[in-house]
Amino acid sequence: MGGFFGVVSKVDCINDLFYGTDYHSHLGTKRGGLAVYRPDGFVRVIHNIENDQFRSKFDDDIAVMHSRSGIGVISDYDDQPLLIRSHLGNYAIVTVGAIKNAELLAGQAFQSRRLHFSEMSGGEINPTELMATLISQEETFEAGIEKAQDAIQGSCSLLLLTDRGIYAARDKWGRTPVVIGRKEVSFAVAMETCSFPNLGFKTERFLGPGEIVFIAPEGYEQKKPAQKKMQICGFLWVYYGYPASSYEGINVEWVRNRCGAFLARRNPIQIDFVAGIPDSGIGHGLGYAAEAGVPFKRPFVKYSPTWTRSFMPQNQVVRDLVAKMKLIPIRELIEGKKFLFCEDSIVRGTQLKDTIQRLYDAGALEVHMRPACPPLVYGCKFLNFSFSRSEMDLAARKAIRELEGESVRGLSEYSQNGTEKYKAMEERIRRRLNLTTLKYQRLEDLIEAISLPKEKVCTYCWDGLDKS
C-alpha cells in the first residue's frame, strides 16, 4: 500500500524526516524516497528497498540533505518522490493509494497534445506523475488537488512540498489515514501515529476525508474542509497497521485484542494453548487467550535478522520460500498438543497450507484456525492491499469456484455468515488447508471491535458493498 511522512520546522529536521519515514516501512515493499527543500533548490534521493531495510540505504544521503522541510515515502509500487516544475512553481510530491482509472485520465490529458507520461515497467502510468499533472492544470495547488481527487476512481492521499511548506491531503473518502503531529519547533504529517512518540511529536489531529491543509513552521491552515462521509479501510486494523498506531483515535493493538476476544466467545473449544502467526496474528491471539483463559505460546518463532517479509517478493515461489524459512517450529511445544492459531486473514492461503502441514509434521494432534476478519470474497478496488492479479486467486473465491463452477450465482450469499453457501465455502477452505476446525470472524464482531459505525468503515472486500 505504501506510507508517507513529512516535516516542516524552524530548525534542521533531516533526522526527524529520516526516522519518521522509516517508521512507515511496514506499509511498503519496493522503494524508499526522500525529498527536501533548501535555499539552493530541491534535493531528492530514491533507493530500492526490496531486499534491504530503509535505514541502511539512506545513511550516507542524509549527511548532505540537511533542511528545514521535507517529505518521505515508502512505496510498493512506483519511484517517489517526484520533482515537478510547473506554472504553480517547483514542488516535490508523494502519493499513497490506487488510481483505478489511470488510463482514462491519461487519455483525457493526451487530448491537449502537449502532455506526456513516463512509462513504468509493464506499461503502466506512474500514478504520482498523473496526480501531479492533474494538479498542475489548475490555478492553485488546493484547486488542483481537489480536482484531482474528484477525478480519480480509487483513492489517493498525498504530500506536496513547496518552498513555503507542505500541502497534505487525505483521499476523498478517507480510506487511508493522514494525521498531523506537533512539537515545540516543528509540525509533522504522517499516515502512522507510531512515527510520532520517539521523535517527540504529539498527535494534533486527524485530517478528515478529502481535507486539504497547508503546513508551515508557524502552524497549519485548512484549505479545504473535510466531507462528512468516510470509508476508512477496515483492513488497516486487521493487518496493515502497526500495533502502536491509531486511526481515528482507535489503537490497532487494542482492536486486535478485541477481535481475538470475539473469536473466543463465538466458538469455544478445548485446546492446550493459543498462538498467533507472527507478527500480525499475535495481537489477535493474545486477545483470544485472555478471553478463553488458556495459555498463549509461540510454537513458531520468526527469524527476522535476515529473512524479509513474505509478501515482499512478487514471485510466488520466492514468496513461499521466504514464508517457510523465516518461521522456525519449536517441536517441544508442538508435539502431542491441540492448539489454535489466530491469523489476521486468509488471502490466498498458499503459504498457510504449508505452515499448517509443518505443524503436523512436528507432531501436532489438532490445529484449529481463527482468522480475525471474514472471508475475503471480493478483490479490493480502492487500495493495492494484495498482490493477487485477480480476485479469483483469493482462497474464498477458489472455494466458491470449486462449488459453483465458472458461473457464480448468488455471490452475496457466500459473504453472509450462517448461510448454507457460506458454510460450504468455509468447509471447503478448511479441508484444503487441512485444519481441524476453521471459523472466520463475523463482520458485525469486527465492526464492533473497531468501534466505528459500519457506515464509516469500508467493508467491500468482505461484503461487496461500495458505500462511496
| Ranges of each domain in the chain | 3-230, 250-463
Kindly list the distances between the CA atom of residue 257 and the CA atoms of 327, 344, 377, in Å, as whole numbers in the listed order.
23, 11, 24
pLDDT at 106 over 80: yes
| The C-alpha cell that represents 69 in the structure block | 522541510
Q: How many CB atoms lie within 10 A of CB 217?
A: 17
Taking residues 452-460, report their average pLDDT.
97
pLDDT at 158 over 80: yes
The residue that leads in pLDDT, 63 or 458, is 458
The residue that leads in pLDDT, 414 or 390, is 414
d(CA 282, CA 168): 33
Kindly list the distances between the CA atom of residue 365 and the CA atoms of 275, 340, 360, 361, 430, in Å, as whole numbers in the listed order.
15, 11, 7, 10, 16
Beta strands in 50-136 (DSSP E): 69-75, 82-86, 89-99
Lowest mean pLDDT among 60-74, 204-218, 246-260, 304-318: 304-318
What residue type is 265 in one-letter code? R
The residue that leads in pLDDT, 76 or 116, is 76
- With both helix axes pointing from N to C terminus, report the angle between 252-266 and 282-292 in degrees, rounded to the nearest 10: 50
Q: What is the pLDDT of residues 225-255, one digit of tens each?
A: 999 999 999 999 999 999 999 999 999 999 9
Q: What is the pLDDT of residue 13?
A: 97
pLDDT at 116 over 60: no
Q: What is the pLDDT of residues 6-19, one digit of tens each?
A: 999 999 999 999 99
Taking residues 168-174, report their average pLDDT.
97
Q: What is the pLDDT of residues 176-206, one digit of tens each?
A: 999 999 999 999 999 999 999 999 999 999 9
Taking residues 98-122, report their average pLDDT.
71
pLDDT at 126 over 70: yes
Q: What is the pLDDT of residue 433?
A: 97
The residue that leads in pLDDT, 54 or 238, is 238
pLDDT at 144 over 80: yes
Q: What is the pLDDT of residues 345-366, one digit of tens each?
A: 999 888 899 999 999 999 999 9
The per-residue b/e assignment along 224-261, b for 16 or more CB within 10 angstroms, e otherwise, is bebeeebbbbbbbbbbbbbbbbbbbebbbbbbbbbbbb
pLDDT at 385 over 70: no
CATH class of 250-463: alpha beta
Asked if 145 and 135 count as a contact pair (C-beta separation under 8 A), the reply is yes
Kindly list the distances between the CA atom of residue 444 and the CA atoms of 181, 262, 266, 285, 455, in Å, as whole numbers in the listed order.
32, 10, 12, 19, 12
Asked if 441 and 354 count as a contact pair (C-beta separation under 8 A), the reply is no
pLDDT tier, 50 (very low <50, low <70, confident <90, very high otherwise): confident
pLDDT tier, 114 (very low <50, low <70, confident <90, very high otherwise): low
Average pLDDT, the chain: 91
Fold classification of 3-230 (topology level): Glutamine Phosphoribosylpyrophosphate, subunit 1, domain 1 (3.60.20)
Q: SS in 3 state form for 217-255?
A: CCEEEEEECCCCCCCEECHHHHHHCCCCCEECCEEHHHH
pLDDT tier, 303 (very low <50, low <70, confident <90, very high otherwise): confident
Q: What is the pLDDT of residue 208?
A: 98
Q: Beta strands 166-169 and 154-161: pairing type?
A: antiparallel
Lowest mean pLDDT among 39-53, 262-276, 375-389: 375-389
Q: Which residues pair with 276 in a beta bridge?
A: 342
| The C-alpha cell that represents 40 in the structure block | 539552493
pLDDT at 68 over 50: yes
pTM as predicted = 0.93
The residue that leads in pLDDT, 348 or 287, is 287
pLDDT at 121 over 50: no
Per cent of the chain over pLDDT 90 is: 77
Residue owning grid cell 494525521: 179
What residue type is 390 in one-letter code? S
Taking residues 449-462, report their average pLDDT.
97
Q: How many helices (H) and strands (E) does the chain have?
A: 16, 23
